[in-house]
Amino acid sequence: MNLISLDQSEYKRLDTKAYTLEKRRLQIELLKLQEDVIKNNRKICILFEGRDTAGKSSAIKFFSEYLRPNNFNYVQLGIPSKWESSHWFQRWAKVIPKEGEMSFLDRSWYTRAITEPIMGYCTENQYRLFMNKVNDWEMKLIDDGVELIKFYFSLSKDQQTRRMQARKNSQLKYWKLSKNDEKIVTKWDAFTLYKDQMFKKTSTEVSPWVSINSNNKMISRLTSLRYLLIQTDYENKKILKPAKYSKDMANYSASIEGVKI
């Protein structure tokens, strides 16, 4: 297993002003990367996986805020049809970026590695077939020029409970809490088991998983974007070291509907 766990100590102390500054610097670099992707007909596919409320969607919004909209894709496929469920890789092959594009996948083919078997949405044979074939399928993508980054956003059980409660109480975000979400959070241990099996089988040297601690969403966004920029070549690349934040700064915190997140 070749799991990458990122050191987030660079952003240990972070206030809103410092966050805004670092966000701007990194987003400028990401726009340079997109320009290089367009110019050189590259294909970059970034997977955002993780537990519910871990911040996948907000991280994608953070990444894509200032990108050229015609050259990146936000992908969230939703519930598969009967045909798609039995033709799993064909379903996902349709959303692989074309030349000159970046794609951000809000959940990916890896729903078959965790959520689907836990919730009974696929058969045991479908799960095992996926686990046996996914590495070879990804190698074909890479051989075809796709630059693949796999992020897994994790968080603590207590933090997930707080965020779920925040969604439930929010007049703006209540719709994000589905009956399915409420069922999944009761299966924490099963989720952990399948996640560990996924890492062990599919975090390869060529296509590793990058684990992001998302208990603090601001830090997780900065950390994941910095990783992408550091690991990816592009014209006029300039990765600045994180600003040296004052030791007097309090760690960032925020609340939604009275619930600390």
pLDDT value at position 184? 72
- What is the predicted pLDDT for the residue at 12? 64
Higher pLDDT, 170 or 195: 195
Mean of the per-residue pLDDT values of the chain? 87
The confidence score (pLDDT) of residue 254 equals 34
State the angle between helix axes of 56-64 and 217-231 in degrees (0 to 180), rounded to the nearest 10. 50
- The string of pLDDT tens digits covering residues 44-93 is 999 999 988 889 999 999 999 999 999 999 999 989 999 999 999 999 99
Higher pLDDT, 78 or 96: 96
Position 249 confidence tier, pLDDT thresholds 50, 70, 90:
very low
Q: Is the pLDDT reported for residue 258 higher than 60?
A: no
Least confident of 20-34, 63-77, 158-172: 158-172
pLDDT (0 to 100) of residue 200: 96
Percent of the chain with pLDDT over 70: 86
Candidates 173, 54, 43; CA nearest to 107 is 54
Q: Which residues pair with 121 in a beta bridge?
A: none
The pLDDT > 90 percentage for the chain reads 65
- Distance CA(253)–CA(261), nearest Å, equals 7
pLDDT computed for residue 250 by the predictor: 35
pLDDT in tens, 102-161: 999 999 999 999 999 999 999 999 999 999 999 999 999 999 999 999 999 999 988 888
Q: Which position has the higher pLDDT, 8 or 136?
A: 136
Whole-number pLDDT of residue 135: 98
Domains and CATH numbers, the chain: 4-236 (3.40.50.300)
- pLDDT at position 260 is 38
pTM for this entry: 0.86
